[in-house]
Amino acid sequence: MPLVDLDRFDFLYATRVKGMKSAVTRDLMATLSRPGIISLAGGFPDTKAFGEEAFREISQAIAPDAAQALQYGPTAGLESIKDVIVEVMAAEGTPARQEDVFVTTGAQQGLDLIAKVFLDEGDAVLCEGPTYAGALNAFAAYRPKIAHAPMDRAGIIPVAARETLMRARKQGIHVKFIYTVPNFQNPTGVTMVAERRKELLGLAREFDLIIVEDNPYGMLRFEGEPLPSLAALEQEEGDVDRVVYLGTFSKIFAPGVRLGWVHAQPGILHKINVGKQGADLCSSNLSQMMISSYFRNADWKSYVKRLNGMYRERRDAMLDALAEFMPKEVHWTHPEGGLFVWATLPSYLDATAMLPRAVAKNVAYVPGEGFYAGGAGKNHMRLNFSFVEPDKIRRGVEILAETIRERMELRSDMERGSRQGRSQKGAARSGSRASGAGR
């Protein structure tokens, strides 16, 4: 085999590859599975909780239908799993009809297909700032502009979102949809309050656009009351269903089966169907049947409850450790559910630059930069608490706090140094001036 020049075919690639970048979490994946490392980086649920025995049961239950499990399935998914999805959505408080459900290869594929169906180059998407990095990756292939509207503790700020939409309209930029993760957002852990959900729907009506509601974590609530989904609110109030709702089995069952869904009105689902045919023909029958079997025969709600108990304990461990170890200049969110805490460092710190140092100390996190389209977010870090046991979370946060403190000290040393330098230079300058004056 001849030696390979890595860039030999650079001239052949599509323009879009320039805008597509690899996610830090994905690049870190090999590192993260290194023994001894405490990874607060991934967005991994704890699949050990499911158990070998339960796995044996569901795979044995579908064995009599092996021929179907191993066969191609319908593009939109098997009827049996659509029934399960309707049940899950009902449990989340969103009424759904089986025929408005479309099965995807993880909710990630839903993001790709929505972007494929709606985005021409130069169209825009309004996202929370920060937003899910994987959504930015999916969208990037279709070359849209990304407009971030800022968030606070109550979610995206509607006034800011409206200003952004107005500005886009004036500039002749077509915003095709608003993308939001309303519950325990990735990366911030923030939940959008009910009033803002209504305001966001109002904006969508005013500007006649779609809302893509990505809700992977909605059922992972440890405290507080569940809020109505935008999809549910829209069904109550809207003249037409303008919410495209994305769900997934990754967090309430398992990501390894790669199964999610889109709930939307038929016209949109028809376009998504055609997109899915080109993308991967259909989702795995095997995965669909294992999930159907499990959700029909097992007490899935108890399992989610068990997960929530576990994640709550881990979140508490993280919040406690943050309070105990972090310098007072560091701030963080207090999520009522989900997988993530978002930490904000002093603005002069660069979490991306700091990562290798943390990894060398056997702790990983995701730097904030990847959650913004435009290079903002450098002084943030996303911390995952779902995958690691409480004592390791504690130890991990302690090490992180050390690393941050080192950097802060380095900075104040440098500042002192530079002040000294400046005063020395100042002295030298006055000296030279003095000497000049002495001429």
> Do 133 and 146 touch, CB atoms closer than 8 A?
no
> Do 169 and 132 touch, CB atoms closer than 8 A?
no
Based on the shown chain and the rule CB under 8 A, indicate whether residue 138 belongs to the binding site for a copy of itself: yes
Kindly state the smallest distance separating residue 154's Cβ from a copy of itself, in Å.
28
Instruction: Give how many residues touch a copy of itself by CB under 8 A.
Output: 105
Pairing type for strands 331-332 and 366-367 reads unpaired
Q: Which two tokens stand for residue 119?
A: 């985005």
Based on the shown chain and the rule CB under 8 A, indicate whether residue 74 belongs to the binding site for a copy of itself: yes
Q: Which of 118, 132, 325, 332 binds a copy of itself (CB under 8 A)?
A: 118
Based on the shown chain and the rule CB under 8 A, indicate whether residue 277 belongs to the binding site for a copy of itself: yes
Quick one: which of 238, 254, 252, 250 has its CA closest to 200?
A: 238
* Interactions with a copy of itself, residue window 177-216 (CB under 8 A): 177, 209-210
* Interactions with a copy of itself, residue window 334-373 (CB under 8 A): none
Based on the shown chain and the rule CB under 8 A, indicate whether residue 98 belongs to the binding site for a copy of itself: no
| Torsion sign (Cα): 65, 70, 73, 79 | positive
Based on the shown chain and the rule CB under 8 A, indicate whether residue 42 belongs to the binding site for a copy of itself: yes
- Strand segments (E) across 45-141: 101-104, 124-129
Return left, alpha or beta for 353; rule: phi > 0 is left, psi -120 to 50 is alpha, else beta: alpha
What's the angle, vertex CA 85, arms to CA 287 and CA 221, rounded to 5? 105
Considering beta carbons, is residue 282 or 354 the nearer one to a copy of itself? 282
Kindly state the smallest distance separating residue 402's Cβ from a copy of itself, in Å.
29
> Do 158 and 193 touch, CB atoms closer than 8 A?
no
Number of neighbours of residue 284 by Cβ within 10 angstroms = 19
Based on the shown chain and the rule CB under 8 A, indicate whether residue 305 belongs to the binding site for a copy of itself: no
Kindly state the smallest distance separating residue 421's Cβ from a copy of itself, in Å.
43
Considering beta carbons, is residue 5 or 225 the nearer one to a copy of itself? 5
Instruction: Measure the CA–CA gap between 382 and 312, rounded to whole angstroms.
Output: 17
Considering beta carbons, is residue 55 or 87 the nearer one to a copy of itself? 55
- Strand segments (E) across 145-204: 145-152, 155-156, 175-180
Q: Which of 82, 145, 162, 176 binds a copy of itself (CB under 8 A)?
A: 176
Considering beta carbons, is residue 229 or 344 the nearer one to a copy of itself? 229
Based on the shown chain and the rule CB under 8 A, indicate whether residue 283 belongs to the binding site for a copy of itself: yes
Q: Which stretch binds a copy of itself (CB under 8 A): 186-194, 281-289, 361-369, 409-417?
A: 281-289
Based on the shown chain and the rule CB under 8 A, indicate whether residue 298 belongs to the binding site for a copy of itself: no
Based on the shown chain and the rule CB under 8 A, indicate whether residue 68 belongs to the binding site for a copy of itself: yes
Instruction: Measure the CA–CA gap between 228 and 218, rounded to whole angstroms.
Output: 10
Based on the shown chain and the rule CB under 8 A, indicate whether residue 229 belongs to the binding site for a copy of itself: no
Based on the shown chain and the rule CB under 8 A, indicate whether residue 268 belongs to the binding site for a copy of itself: yes
Kindly state the smallest distance separating residue 20's Cβ from a copy of itself, in Å.
5
Kindly state the smallest distance separating residue 47's Cβ from a copy of itself, in Å.
4
> Do 194 and 228 touch, CB atoms closer than 8 A?
yes
Instruction: Measure the CA–CA gap between 105 and 141, rounded to whole angstroms.
Output: 18
Based on the shown chain and the rule CB under 8 A, indicate whether residue 80 belongs to the binding site for a copy of itself: no
